[in-house]
Amino acid sequence: MKLLLPQWGLMTEIVAIIQARMSSTRLPGKVLLDLGGRSVLSRMVERVRLSKLITRVVVATTIDPSDEPIVKMCQDEKIDVFRGSLPDVLDRYYQAATKYQAEIVVRLTGDCPLIDPQLIDQTIQALIDQKADFSCNRLPPPFHRTYPIGLDVEVCSIAALTFAWHVADEKHDREHVLPYLYEVKGRFKVVQIDHTEDLGSLRWTLDTPEDYTLLQEVIQRLDGCNDFTWLDVLDLFRKDPELAQINQAIQHKSMFDVEDRSKRVQS
């Protein structure tokens, strides 16, 4: 169903694209790990679907044979799935956005099962209200963030995504999808939502075994439910500060960290 968004001036198709692959270097197969009786990716898709503004949720995986299990899970659970380039994630996003006729694109990564639908909607609304090209609730290092790692939302217009797809040629721009839109100040109109309290040191994403241990503990303490808010999670950390110590030694990747994924592509 399309929503009428007067500030945008269109019956706008807002497509959330969740990038996911099995070939993670630090924790292979992480998006399909069990988390409270269901996969990490399945939990995340359900939470994204709680957004009031998103009109479609798509999992964007790769043509690499190793990602067949992701495709099967999506088919079994009736989730839209798109297969594209493994190394060129920007191209994967552009092709998926074009296929599903997106006018606004929400970029999410499949290792964020605690993603919050209200934060997603706030980030979308910021793009619309301020007539921006790109909005977010965080940027990767070396930029500053105030929301916990794992609540990451990036939103852009299809026009901005298309422009980046045409002209961005640095490896980190192609792998991390949208840096071209924000890495040079003034190139595009960028809006960042910040939290009143700096919680950027909290790590709620899934990239290492330590992260997995933490997320299992969080879901267990939430009794396995999936309709919690990020503030419910924060409350757990307020009550038990030792939770944050489980994965506090993990170094978060920067905007310039890239992998050599090209060797994995199968013909």
The pLDDT value recorded for residue 259 is: 64
pLDDT of residue 142: 85
- What pLDDT score does 8 carry? 52
Q: Check the CA dihedral 132-134-135-138 and report its sign.
A: negative
Core vs surface per residue 149-169: b (16+ CB within 10 A) or e:
bbbbbbbbbbebbebbbeebe
- Cα 197 from chain centroid? 22
Q: Locate the domains of the chain by residue range.
A: 3-258
- Residue labelled with tokens 């199968």: 266
Judge contact between 138 and 252, C-beta under 8 A: no
Q: Would you say 261 and 86 are in contact if contact means Cβ atoms under 8 Å apart?
A: yes
Which residues contact residue 144 at a Cβ distance below 8 angstroms, ignoring those fewer than 6 apart?
Answer: 200
Asked if 157 and 97 count as a contact pair (C-beta separation under 8 A), the reply is no
Given CATH 3.90.550.10, say whether it is the number of domain 3-258: yes
Task: Print pLDDT tens along the chain (267 aa).
Answer: 333 344 555 568 999 999 999 999 899 999 999 999 999 999 999 999 999 999 999 999 999 999 999 999 999 999 999 999 999 999 999 999 999 999 999 999 999 999 999 999 999 999 999 999 999 999 988 888 999 999 999 999 999 999 999 999 999 999 999 999 999 999 999 999 999 999 999 999 999 999 999 999 999 999 999 999 999 999 999 999 999 999 998 776 654 555 655 544 433
DSSP string, 14-65: EEEEEE--S--SSSTTGGGSBSSSSBHHHHHHHHHTT-SS--EEEEEEESSG
The model's pLDDT over 116-155, given as tens digits with 9 standing for 90+, comes to 999 999 999 999 999 999 999 999 888 889 999 999 999 9
Tell me the one-letter amino acid at 79.
I
Q: What is the pLDDT of residue 261?
A: 52
Structure tokens at 60: 């964007």
Phi, psi of 60 (to 5 degrees): -105, 105
- Continuous H helices in 89-204: 89-99, 117-129, 158-167, 171-175, 179-182
Q: What torsion do the CA atoms of 189, 190, 191, 196 make, to the nearest 10 degrees?
A: -140
